[in-house]
Amino acid sequence: MAPKRRHLLALLMVLGLVTAAACSSDGGGGISGGYSIGLVTDTGKVDDKSFNQSAWEGAQDGAANIPASATASYIETEESKDYANNIQLFVDDGAKIIVTVGFGLGEATIEAAKANPDVMFIGVDQWQNEALPNLAGLMFPEANAGFMAGALAGMLTETNIVGAVLGTDLVPPVVFFKEGWENGARYTNPGVQTISTYHPGGLDVAFGDPEWGATTARQALDQGADIIFGAGGATGNGALIEVAGEAGALCVGVDTDQWFTVPEAHPCLVTSAMKLIDVGVAELISQAYAGTMQGGNYFGEVGLAPHHDFDSIVTDEMRDTLAEVMAGLADGSINPMPG
Amino acid sequence: MSRSILRTIAIPLAAVVFGLLIGVVLILSQNASPATAYTALVVGGLGDADALLRTLQKATPLIFGGLAVAVAFKAGMFNIGGQGQLLVGAVFAAAVGFGIDGLPMVIHLPAALVAGAIAGAIWGGIAGALKATTGAHEVIVTIMLNFVAGNLTDWLSANPWKDNSGNNIVARTPLVEDSATIPTLGAVPVGFLLAVVVAVACWLVLERTTYGFEVRSVGHNRNAAQYSGIKVGWIMASTMAVAGMLAGLGGAVESLGVDGRFEAGVNVGLGFEGITIALLARANPLGVIPAALLVGLMEAGASRMQFKAGVAPELIDVIQALILFFVAAPIIIRWVLRMREDNSEQLRLGAGWGQS
């Protein structure tokens, strides 16, 4: 047999083997049948340890809470041009509830909700200007989260100076975090001085500039701040990592428990001002299933992350004060953004 | 004739088959069904009119981006600047598209396309002119210009040309006027037809005109071209300008036909994919069309594949990389298929390096 033939034969055998393997294995086949819940991520992954992951965990919890057997599945968006198509895949498959994660999907979600009045939509971080009956925007009172973190910082600071390194003030939630943080610090420590700096760039760079975050955090440290709030994606993370290198200084994370997302910040991370996206998504799914979901904006819960390595420096007295603050925010007796 | 065509496409074709076969192994390793996955991929890209439209829309900028790299290859230059050229083309086309009101479509749409083409030509031309006059290497210059273009277009869409409607906080321009919007005929976007026409035109110019002969001569041997009286500097500068124009047109079509506006961050990566396409097409302008269609199909179907088979969409990127690997290292394919070395035009990737 000529060598040429032998190679061809070998190739054919491999081909045959692979084809056989391809045909024999079954499985997959989508989510058709039963009560199905779909989730479309922003251009990120469901294991991003942040937004998308929290929402996905919430969708799974929500599915588990539904009495009927419900399944949740997700599509990770590769390109922002695919938002509408990815939502449509779930619509075509008969999904009853569709969760879309992130500000970027806002317009595509509204369009899909208008076109499919029988499907319930949940838009995480999507503010609704006009209420559609089948679309709930899951928003969070960031000012409350910032206030709680600030209240803790006001009690922990020894120099009586607290700093904040923030994404752009173009994004309202960032402003809410900042105002809440400052007011919270003043609430527990009326003499506190605050140094808060917004990133000067546009939306496309403000959350992706860890170098600026680090430099700005350094400036605040040099001016005497000993606890710094980093709120602004990678920019804020840069601030946390810078503070971690300063002995004795503390830092506060944002959105999720950043103990898990920025391990470099372990030497300083005393807590994070969290938005409980998973709880909010699961709650809205239960409501959507029960038929009680209201269109428009729904405000989820916020909270402080565990103190991890710094559990011992947060005294019982401080914990009592924080509990009072939370109760005050909850019943409205404390206004996180007066004026 | 047919034998030589067969031989030309044998390597890319085999590379695609090999890439997909290794993809089968990867799908199996994720405990998914390759049959389900690939079926979903094809249905997602060709299954109905919407799917076909998506494939053609995805293929269109890839054709332009692929041509931008392929044409520069012919002159012995490596254009890494497709991304930057595409971005400036996209933003300037959008600017003409939304900034002028009340023109009829026959004037407005071509004007917007030309604006994108000119912006891209300038962006590519800078690298070409620097190469011709100072010897600055086009690879370095085009990479740098990508960053400049990225920041420039971000700034333009966040400041002077920002969409201030509603509560918009995103860096993006307003929607382009209807008179500057590229229409879609059924499932076929007109931008795709334009891309095909441009690809054929590129082939004709390169293969059937004196200018094209000069470009190829410079690509084969710059010194010999110089001795035979070809103005090498002019050829290099003008070829890079043409390459930039092609990428700029791709960006213009994206703004005017797909997105309806320019938005910062939305077109990231499109220009770089042109390099994949050009290599897969072995720098042949006509080969760019099927190469772009193949990659466009895979990208259009990736969501459905993920949805139906539970396969991570990155698989498509891996398969693309594998295909590219086999095209760039054809010796593996030759060994497996026992093919003889072909004596057709070789794609010399290294041609640009080491010469000044």
Q: Which tokens is A317 given?
A: 């007295």
Q: Is the dihedral of CA A287, A291, A294, A297 positive or negative?
A: positive
SS3 B31: coil
pLDDT for res A83: 92
A1, A9, A79: which to substitute to probe chain B, counting the most B Cβ within 10 Å?
A: A79
Query: How many Å apart are CA A88 and CA A83, to the nearest integer?
Result: 9
Nearest CA to CA, how far is B320 from chain A (Å)?
15
**Closest-CA residue to A272 (of A260, A283, A264):** A260
pLDDT for res B142: 96
Nearest CA to CA, how far is B257 from chain A (Å)?
12
Kindly state whether A248 is in contact with chain B, defined as any CB-CB distance less than 8 angstroms: no
pLDDT for res B333: 78
pLDDT for res A49: 75
Task: Tell me what the pLDDT averaged over chain B comes to.
Answer: 90
Chain B residues interacting with chain A (CB cutoff of 8 angstroms): 21, 24-25, 28, 31-38, 50, 54, 154-155, 158-159, 166-167, 169-171, 258-259, 263-266, 299, 302-304, 306-313, 335-338
Label each residue of A30-60 as H, E or C: CCCCCEEEEEECCCCCCCCCCHHHHHHHHHH
Q: Find the farthest-apart pair of alpha carbons in chain B and give their distance in angstroms, rounded.
A: 64
pLDDT digits (tens, 9 = 90+) for B203-255: 999 999 999 999 999 999 999 999 999 999 999 999 999 999 999 999 999 99
pLDDT for res B352: 46
B307, B317, B337: which to substitute to probe chain A, counting the most A Cβ within 10 Å?
A: B307
Task: Sketch out chain A's domains with CATH numbers.
Answer: 35-140+278-299 (3.40.50.2300), 142-274+307-331 (3.40.50.2300)
CB atoms within 10 A of CB A208: 16
Contact partners, residue A311, CB within 8 Å, separation at least 6: none
B344 has pLDDT over 80: no
Nearest CA to CA, how far is A201 from chain B (Å)?
9
pLDDT digits (tens, 9 = 90+) for B169-202: 788 999 999 999 999 998 899 999 999 999 999 9
Determine, for residues B307 and A21 on separate chains, whether the beta-carbon distance falls below 8 Å.
Answer: no
- Taking each helix axis from N to C end, the angle separating B138-158 and B105-134, rounded to the nearest 10 degrees, works out to 140
Query: How many Å apart are CA A102 and CA B12, to the nearest integer?
Result: 40
Determine, for residues B54 and A85 on separate chains, whether the beta-carbon distance falls below 8 Å.
Answer: yes
Query: How many Å apart are CA A95 and CA B298, to the nearest integer?
Result: 25
Residue among B33, B258, B299 whose CB faces A25 most closely? B33
B354: left (phi over 0), alpha (psi -120 to 50) or beta: left
pLDDT for res B355: 44
Which residues of chain A fall short of a pLDDT of 70?
A: 1-33, 203-204, 339
pLDDT digits (tens, 9 = 90+) for B15-53: 999 999 999 999 999 889 999 999 999 999 999 999 999
pLDDT for res A11: 54
Determine, for residues B33 and A26 on separate chains, whether the beta-carbon distance falls below 8 Å.
Answer: yes
Q: What topology does CATH give the domain B2-352?
A: ABC transporter involved in vitamin B12 uptake, BtuC (1.10.3470)
Query: How many Å apart are CA B155 and CA A295, to the nearest integer?
Result: 36
Determine, for residues A85 and B303 on separate chains, whether the beta-carbon distance falls below 8 Å.
Answer: yes
B113 has pLDDT over 90: yes
Kindly state whether A327 is in contact with chain B, defined as any CB-CB distance less than 8 angstroms: no
